Amino acid sequence: MVPLQNRKLDMNQCDELTALKTKQGFICDMDGVIYSGESLINGALEFVRWLEESGKRYLFLTNASAYTPLGLKRRLARLGLNIDESQFYTSALATAEFLHNQSPGCSAYVIGDSGLHHALNQKGISMDEVNPDYVVVGETRDYNYDKISRAIAFVENGARLIGAHPDITSPGDDGLLPAARALVAPIELATGRKAYYVGKPNALMMRTGISMLGVHSSEAAIIGDRMDTDIIAGIESGITTVLVLTGVTAKEQVKDYPYRPKYIFEDVGELAAQFTEEKAMVRRSLAAHLKVPHGFLRHQAERSIA
C-alpha cells in the first residue's frame, strides 16, 4: 500500500483496512518484520502495542531455528519488547515434533545451533555421531567441511535428510546471510537425496501455529517479509496475507510470483499507523454524517475501547 504520508484514505480503502483490523489473530514472522539483526524495525513497538491494546491473539512464527523460545523472549526484551515465552513457535520446535511423531526415540546427527539441539532433546531425540537415523540441518555459524562430509556419509548410509526450513537466506545487519537450505544444499548435491523441509511454508508448521493462535483460519492474518515462505504459507492455509518490505522480498519482486499478498505495507509501523488513521477517518465521517458537535464525538472517542 502507498505510504500513509503520501495519501488520504478513501472509504473503500477504509473498509479494506477494517477487514484486516477486525481479524482476531495475527501470525507474525520475526526477522525482517519485527527486527533486523540487533535492531527493531521501524514501528515494531507501536505495532505490538496495538496488538496488546486491541486484545488481539498473536504468535511469532519463525523459521529461525537457532534460538529457543526463551532465547527469543530475551532477545526481544533487550530490544524493548516484553513478549511471553509461550508466544513463540520456531522451525526447530516444528522439526522436533515432526521427528517425534514419525519415529519416537530416534537419533540424529545435527548441524545447527542451541535452539535446534534443545528442541530435539526435549522430544527425546538423541544425538548420534556414529549411525544416526536422521541428519538434521538448521542455520548455524559452526559449519565446516568436516561436518558436511560426515553428514554426506550418514545420508549415503541410509540416514534421512531433514532441513529445519527451506529459507535460503535471512536478513542481517550487513546484508543477506545463508540460512538452512543453503547449508543443506551441498549435502543434497553430493548425495543426490532431497531433504524434507519442516518450517514455513510446510502446512505442518502452519496448522500448529493456527492451533496455538486459537482462532479459525478465516479470523487470522499472517505478516511476513518473504513471498516464498510467509505469503505462500498464508495462501495455502486460507488466512489473510500481509507482506512488509523490510526483509527479503522487495516491492519490485512481487510481480515475479504467480500469487499475490492481500496487503503490502512498507513496514509494521505503517500498518499500525493506518489502523489509527482508519479509526480517525471513521470518526470524522460519522461526525459529518450525523452533524454531531466535534467536542461531543471527541468525548465519546476518549471513552471508547480501541
Q: Kindly report, residue by residue over 155-192, the tens digit of the pLDDT.
A: 999 999 999 999 998 877 777 889 999 999 999 999 99
Cell 536422521 belongs to 134
Asked if 206 and 256 sit in the same domain, the reply is yes
Q: 3-class SS at 286? A: helix
Tell whether 9 is covered by a domain: yes
Asked if 132 and 106 sit in the same domain, the reply is yes
What is the Cα–Cα distance from 101 to 85, expressed in whole angstroms? 24
Q: How confident is the model at residue 279 (pLDDT cuts 50, 70, 90)?
A: low
Peptide bond before residue 201 is cis, with ω within 30 degrees of 0: yes
Torsion of CA 212, 213, 214, 219, to 10 degrees: -150
Which residue is catalytic, options 15, 29, 133, 167? 29
b/e map 130-141, b = 16+ CB within 10 Å: eebbbbbbbbbe
Candidates 278, 204, 281; CA nearest to 236 is 204
Asked if 103 and 177 sit in the same domain, the reply is yes
Asked if 183 and 228 sit in the same domain, the reply is no
Tell whether 220 is covered by a domain: yes
Tell whether 52 is covered by a domain: yes
Which residue is catalytic, options 10, 31, 173, 225? 31
**Domain-terminating residue out of 197, 232, 255:** 197
Q: Is the pLDDT of residue 90 over 60?
A: yes
- Cβ of 289: how many Cβ atoms within 10 Å? 8
Asked if 151 and 111 sit in the same domain, the reply is yes
State the residue range of the domain holding 128: 92-197
pLDDT at 7: 43
Asked if 149 and 188 sit in the same domain, the reply is yes
Cβ-contact 109, 125 below 8 angstroms: no
Asked if 192 and 206 sit in the same domain, the reply is no
Q: How confident is the model at residue 298 (pLDDT cuts 50, 70, 90)?
A: very low
- Pairwise pLDDT comparison (16 vs 164), residue with the higher score: 164
Cβ-contact 99, 108 below 8 angstroms: yes
Low-confidence winner among 130-134, 183-187, 282-286 (lowest mean pLDDT): 282-286
Q: Which residues have CB under 8 Å from 147's CB, separation 6+?
A: 111
Tell whether 108 is covered by a domain: yes
- pTM for this model (two decimals): 0.85
What is the Cα–Cα distance from 270 to 46, expressed in whole angstroms? 10
Tell whether 113 is covered by a domain: yes
**Domain-terminating residue out of 165, 181, 197:** 197
Tell whether 293 is covered by a domain: no
Asked if 154 and 111 sit in the same domain, the reply is yes
**Domain-terminating residue out of 180, 197, 214:** 197
Q: Which residues have CB under 8 Å from 218's CB, separation 6+?
A: 238, 239
- Residues 198-214 have pLDDT tens digits of 999 999 999 999 999 99
What is the β-pairing status of strands 175-178 and 134-137? unpaired
pLDDT at 60: 98
Three-state SS sequence of 198-237: CCCCCHHHHHHHHHHHCCCHHHEEEEECCHHHHHHHHHHH
Q: Structurally, how many domains does the chain consist of? A: 2
Tell whether 251 is covered by a domain: yes
Asked if 110 and 172 sit in the same domain, the reply is yes
Q: 3-class SS at 293? A: coil
Tell whether 147 is covered by a domain: yes
Asked if 131 and 171 sit in the same domain, the reply is yes
- Pairwise pLDDT comparison (17 vs 93), residue with the higher score: 93
What is the Cα–Cα distance from 182 to 185, expressed in whole angstroms? 5
What is the Cα–Cα distance from 265 to 291, expressed in whole angstroms? 34
Is 31 part of the annotated catalytic residue set? yes
pLDDT at 14: 65
Asked if 168 and 206 sit in the same domain, the reply is no
Q: What angle do CA 86, 88, 89 make, to 5 degrees?
A: 115
Asked if 50 and 107 sit in the same domain, the reply is no
Q: What is the CATH number of the domain that holds 113?
A: 3.40.50.1000
